[in-house]
């Protein structure tokens, strides 16, 4: 039998652990935000180049670098270690640029008088952006964590295409608050992933609106499928919404180009797999999304986040009454 002292100690220890975790989050947030504020004093191009170079040196010192290399070896078993290491360093550079671009969004997206887009952004599928604005919705756009994926809703807005984007906040609550404010300023309507998000997105589609969804994250107790030939679990949300509203689903991606330039691509709607009764096949559509993102990553492997534990499986047991929720960590 546990002593009274032991019973009292457990909640005190739990509170102390939570307090330490919050303190750690606060410290990391202050250091990160302080660095970005300092970087803002530099010209955008020089600051982003500095972050890229620093991340290529510091990234390999982090534990997530080992995760990235492990994932890369499994995805590319025939590539030599030196090439995999180069891809991982490209990844760290891309992630550092992405963080810095939050600070310099206004400068990067500055347009000349009369221009719809900045000079450093090129578009593939411009006519489709215009057409979707003119068409009565609903539409679903999807992408992955490639290039600077945050630019897609910003550019869509430049064409008058309003997109409500589903996003996942960082675990760090202090960074999450800062990023949410910044994202809202530049990206428009946002829906935080979690309980109730599916209903919010459904209401947007029901009102003939457009939604944007990232589809390449781990999802606890999601649909089984494959990514780079390895078993994974994927959220069925997009496929279920496509089945419910029988609406077009368009792939969109951002490709990072040299010289702090970007290429944004919006493609024609996918031909979604159907069941014998004509409804969208949820499992097959979810796998089609995986295959589409895999093709993008294979084309530009250094622009995807290989440190993400995409292939971590949930196992077969669930807690009683538990529901599927987005993964709580990359």
Q: Are 60 and 23 in contact (CB under 8 A)?
A: no
d(C-alpha 181, C-alpha 51), whole Å: 22
> Which tens digit of pLDDT belongs to each residue from 8-33?
556 666 666 666 667 766 676 667 66
Residue 254, pLDDT > 90, answer yes
Q: pLDDT at position 269, please?
A: 97
Q: Which residues, 6+ apart, have CB-to-CB distance to 45 below 8 Å? A: 260
Residue 276 burial (C-beta neighbours within 10 Å; 0-12, 13-18, 19+): exposed
Segment (H or E) for 133: helix 126-134
Q: What percent of the chain has pLDDT over 90?
A: 56
At 327, give phi and psi (nearest 5°). -60, 145
Q: pLDDT at position 171, please?
A: 60
Name which residue leads in pLDDT, 326 or 294. 294
Q: Are 117 and 258 in contact (CB under 8 A)?
A: no
Q: Tell me if residue 282 falls in helix, strand or coil.
A: helix
Q: pLDDT at position 180, please?
A: 53
Mean pLDDT of 65-73: 97
Query: How far from each other are the two terminal CA atoms of the chain, in whole angstroms?
Result: 40
pLDDT bucket at 37, cuts 50 / 70 / 90: confident
Q: pLDDT at position 182, please?
A: 56
The token duo for 121 is 């952004």
d(C-alpha 145, C-alpha 180), whole Å: 17
Mean pLDDT of 148-163: 88
Name which residue leads in pLDDT, 88 or 195. 88
CB atoms within 10 A of CB 181: 9
The token duo for 280 is 């969208």
pLDDT bucket at 330, cuts 50 / 70 / 90: very low
Q: pLDDT at position 114, please?
A: 73
pLDDT bucket at 212, cuts 50 / 70 / 90: very high
pLDDT bucket at 228, cuts 50 / 70 / 90: very high
Helix 4-39 to helix 81-103 angle, to the nearest 10 degrees?
Answer: 80
Q: Are 125 and 117 in contact (CB under 8 A)?
A: no
Q: What is the mean pLDDT of the chain?
A: 84
Mean pLDDT of 44-65: 93
Establish whether the linkage from the previous residue to 138 is cis, with ω within 30° of 0: yes
pLDDT bucket at 325, cuts 50 / 70 / 90: very low
Which residue ranges make up each domain of the chain? Answer: 10-105, 119-303
**Chain centroid to CA 269: how far?**
21
pLDDT bucket at 327, cuts 50 / 70 / 90: very low
The token duo for 156 is 């869509």
> Which tens digit of pLDDT belongs to each residue from 101-128?
888 877 777 777 777 788 889 999 999 9
Name which residue leads in pLDDT, 246 or 114. 246
Q: Are 327 and 219 in contact (CB under 8 A)?
A: yes
d(C-alpha 167, C-alpha 183), whole Å: 10
d(C-alpha 266, C-alpha 127), whole Å: 9
Q: Are 137 and 162 in contact (CB under 8 A)?
A: no
Of residues 33, 145, 159, 38, the one with CA closest to residue 95: 145
pLDDT bucket at 4, cuts 50 / 70 / 90: low
Q: pLDDT at position 319, please?
A: 45
Residue 113 burial (C-beta neighbours within 10 Å; 0-12, 13-18, 19+): exposed
């Amino acid at each position: 039998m546990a002593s009274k002292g032991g019973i009292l100690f457990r909640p005190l220890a739990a509170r102390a652990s939570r307090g330490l975790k919050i303190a750690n989050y606060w410290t990391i947030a202050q250091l990160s935000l302080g660095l970005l504020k300092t970087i803002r004093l530099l010209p955008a191009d020089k600051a982003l180049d500095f972050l890229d170079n620093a991340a290529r040196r510091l990234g390999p010192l982090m534990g997530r670098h080992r995760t990235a290399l492990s994932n890369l070896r499994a995805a590319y078993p025939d590539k030599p270690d030196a090439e995999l290491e180069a891809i991982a360093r490209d990844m760290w550079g891309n992630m550092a640029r992405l963080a810095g671009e939050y600070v310099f969004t206004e400068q990067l997206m500055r347009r000349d008088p009369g221009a719809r887009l900045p000079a450093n952004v090129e578009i593939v599928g411009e006519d489709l952006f215009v057409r979707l604005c003119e068409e009565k919705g609903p539409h679903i756009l999807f992408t992955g964590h490639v290039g600077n994926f945050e630019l897609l809703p910003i550019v869509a807005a430049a064409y008058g295409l309003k997109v409500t984007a589903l996003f996942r906040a960082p675990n760090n609550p202090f960074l999450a608050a800062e990023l949410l404010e910044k994202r809202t300023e530049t990206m428009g309507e946002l829906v935080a992933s979690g309980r109730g998000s599916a209903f919010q997105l459904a209401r947007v589609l029901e009102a003939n609106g457009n939604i944007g969804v990232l589809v390449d994250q781990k999802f606890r107790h999601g649909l089984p499928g494959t990514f780079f030939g390895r078993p994974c679990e994927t959220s069925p949300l997009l496929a279920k919404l496509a089945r419910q509203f029988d609406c077009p689903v368009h792939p969109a991606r951002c490709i990072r180009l040299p010289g702090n330039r970007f290429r944004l691509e919006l493609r024609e709607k996918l031909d979604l797999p159907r069941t014998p009764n004509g409804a969208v096949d949820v499992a097959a559509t979810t796998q089609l999304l995986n295959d589409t993102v895999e093709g993008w990553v294979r084309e530009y492997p250094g622009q995807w986040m290989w440190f993400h534990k995409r292939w971590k499986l949930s196992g077969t047991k669930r807690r009683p009454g538990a529901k599927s929720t987005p993964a709580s960590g990359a």
